Amino acid sequence: MNSGTLKNILYSGGAILALLTPFLVESTSPVAAQTTPAASNSEEQDERALLRADTVSNDEDTGILTASGNVELSQGDRVLLADTVTYNTNTDVASATGNVALVEPGGEVIFGEYVEITSDMKEAFVRDVRILLTDNTRIAADNAVRTNDNRTVFRQGVFSPCLPCKEDPEAAPLWQIKADRAIHDKEDQEMRYRNARLEFFGMPAFYTPYFSHADWTVDRKSGILAAEYGSDEFLGYYGRVPYYWVTGPTSDVTITPMYTANQGLQLSTEFRKIFENGILETTVSGTQADLVDSRGELKEDEFRGHIDAMGRFDLSDTWRAGFDIRRATDESYPKVYNVNLDDEEQLYESHLFAERLEGRDYFAANALAFQSLTDLVSTSRQPIVAPMLDWNHVSEPVWGSGFYELDANFLSLVRERGREVRRLSLGTAWNQSFMGAIGDVYNIRASLRTDGYWTNDHYPGSTSFDPQPTEGSDFAGRVFPQLSMEWRYPWVAQSEAFQQTFEPIVQAVAAPNFGNYDGIPNEDSLDVEFDDTNLFALNRFAGLDRVDKGSRIDYGMKYSFSTYSQFYSEAFIGQSYRFQENEDFSEGSGLRSNSSDYVGRVRIQPFRELDLLYRFRLDQDTLEFKQQEARFRAGIPEFRVSGSYMNFKETSESSRYGPREQVRLALTSRLSDHWRVRLFTQHDFVNDYFPRTGANLIYEDECFTLFAGFERRRFRNREIEPEDTFGIRISLKYLGAFGTDHSSGGDRPQ
């Protein structure tokens, strides 16, 4: 042993500590703690490793250093354990034998019976190798050879991210890949196989002479994704083979060609990009296919496609902007080609906006456009809003708890065919709150709104967007003052076990009985659903085109009961009395006569596993239920049920839905640690049919996911008939997912 090595040997009891050349080190990380004064300069310290062994011997004739007995060799974050380690100073090669374990800085552990490696770790040989990655993925082989610090070849290799069976650890895992040769390319971050066999529970399921996938270090990597196959009535048999392309550190593109037996080729492209100040996601698709138009006529080889784009950007500390663009060449395309559209979605909305929020000021500029996705409403009659400007200001507290508000709105609305509207609205309000002598709370609000309308082709008093004959230009306006006072008096009763709260609420509103003139069009206040949430709203219309005119008194009682553990319940009932009838509300709204319908809610949550909510509206004269809505959630993860019930006897005159009554139920059960099942259904009582019914079976563990689902859908349009769909999705960790969907025409609802 040379003197430079001998002077760094320390004896401590029966162990020998030595600082040696780090033949197992890729980088030159410094030793964590300085153990001897021999480390005189940083470069020499960076090249040393710490060796612990029962005995160390040196053969000066052969230049071989041998450490044996509980050998532990460490440098930085890398540790080598073995029964025996020898180092040949002439060839600069080290070998380790007997229960060899190498712990890598990343946490991976390499096991072997014999390891031979160069000091720079660029060349290595391991016999009977087994590798355990940080996510419990396992690699095993008869031997492994590493070359050029990059390429590792496993002979007779086995790869599996599945955990061993707890009852029988020696049994084959759920799935594994066996290959004559498995090659790990560190630079390309890829695993490649020759003569690969995919096995499930040790049984061969698939063979390929060549196969590759991204390795465990990859977050994103370009390549072909798993294919998907299926069939339906309109497209026939179809197949998708997506290609994923990483275009940069914060961007990627997914290109998905889809071949259909009946309608040819469709191409879809998804682009995603993260910027320093925002995000962009865009999906565009198109095809040349048959089209059934709104008149039921078949057109061959028409271009059909869609765009679905979203962007959000922070322009400064106070400004942000964004857009949502959703458009299709025709209303049937999104549902025919299943482009991320909910079955109940009947409208595409495109939205461009910019907004500023600073202190107590808010400004927003919006532009909106809509496209109908049903045959019931023409897109040419949908409004195009550009621009809609809003400005709101809330002052600092003035005179104690008082504060004022300033609001401004400008709207420009046009259509391809029909009414056009320009609106300017200015409003101001004063708010004052104070507490009475007995603990009651008062809120007073005085407001004044001024609105001006410039219209074209508006027929006074008509709800039609497209009057015949068309009207010319006109101007209409209003000035609408309103004064309100709300009084609340909460009573609280407490004990050691529970707390009760009684809170009567009364609100008086004074306003003139005018304001909704025939010359003022109604674009944003067509429908009103009167319930417990808007009983005390000063304007029960959703928008600005209609005001809640006249004087009235709103009153209600709120009660809550809760324990200090889990139990909670609340109940509310209320009504509104108007001094004059308001014909601006429809007959079915519950607000047209002097006394409104009764509205209320009941909620009970006796414990965490049960939550019940019931909301209702009762006729003021007959106490007949006009509107009911119930929701419930019950159960534990092993068995959970949820559902809802909705019953609207009457709706507003502007609604195209008519009376509605339906129920939705869903049952979810966790059968075991890995198996789950979900059943769901929806029933329409008015039309006496089931719009959606289905079942899902899901298996999920650390390496494998299976989804099998059946669904019966009753949506239809001129190209889509009610259908039954059965699909299977299988996902293998690192390998990706693949699946198939098959649809068949179902019976039409009666």
pLDDT in tens, 66-112: 999 999 888 777 788 999 999 888 888 889 998 899 888 878 899 99
Question: pLDDT value at position 468?
Answer: 62
Q: Is the confidence at residue 301, as pLDDT, over 90?
A: no
Domain count, the chain: 4
Show the domain range for 483.
418-625
Question: pLDDT value at position 44?
Answer: 43
Burial profile 35-60: b = 16 or more Cβ within 10 angstroms, e = fewer: eeeebeeeeeebbbbbbbbeebebee
Q: What is the CATH number of the domain that holds 56?
A: 2.60.450.10
* Integer Cα distance of 654 and 359 in angstroms: 40
The answer to whether residues 501 and 436 belong to one domain is yes
Q: What is the pLDDT of residues 612-665, one digit of tens each?
A: 999 999 999 899 999 999 999 999 888 999 999 999 876 554 455 568 889 999
Q: Per the domain annotation, does 651 fall within a domain?
A: no
Question: pLDDT value at position 42?
Answer: 43
Q: Per the domain annotation, does 673 fall within a domain?
A: yes
Rg of the chain, C-alpha, whole Å: 37
Tell which of 352, 378, 394 closes a domain. Answer: 394
Question: pLDDT value at position 466?
Answer: 67
Confidence of residue 221 (pLDDT cuts 50, 70, 90): confident
Contact predicate 199/179, CB 8 Å:
no
The answer to whether residues 91 and 172 belong to one domain is yes
Tell which of 208, 240, 261 closes a domain. Answer: 208
Name which residue leads in pLDDT, 148 or 443. 443
The answer to whether residues 359 and 233 belong to one domain is yes
Q: Per the domain annotation, does 676 fall within a domain?
A: yes
The answer to whether residues 152 and 273 belong to one domain is no
* Integer Cα distance of 645 and 615 in angstroms: 10
Question: pLDDT value at position 27?
Answer: 31
Q: Per the domain annotation, does 463 fall within a domain?
A: yes
Q: Per the domain annotation, does 575 fall within a domain?
A: yes
Q: Per the domain annotation, does 243 fall within a domain?
A: yes
Three-class HEC string of 148-178: CCCEEEEEEEEEECCCCCCCCCCCCCCEEEE
The answer to whether residues 103 and 49 belong to one domain is yes
* Integer Cα distance of 401 and 489 in angstroms: 18
Tell which of 148, 175, 208 closes a domain. Answer: 208
The answer to whether residues 246 and 201 belong to one domain is no
The answer to whether residues 81 and 117 belong to one domain is yes
Name which residue leads in pLDDT, 585 or 32. 585
The answer to whether residues 443 and 548 belong to one domain is yes
Q: Per the domain annotation, does 22 fall within a domain?
A: yes
The answer to whether residues 271 and 387 belong to one domain is yes
The answer to whether residues 191 and 235 belong to one domain is no
The overall longest dimension of the chain from CA atoms, in Å, is 115
pTM for the whole structure: 0.77
Q: Per the domain annotation, does 264 fall within a domain?
A: yes
User: If you ran DSSP here, which 8-state letter would residue 240 be given?
Assistant: E
Question: pLDDT value at position 353?
Answer: 97
The answer to whether residues 426 and 548 belong to one domain is yes
Strands (E) located in 671-749: 675-684, 689-700, 704-713, 723-732, 736-745
Q: How far apart are the first and last CA of the chain?
A: 96
The answer to whether residues 154 and 225 belong to one domain is no
pLDDT averaged over every residue in the chain:
85
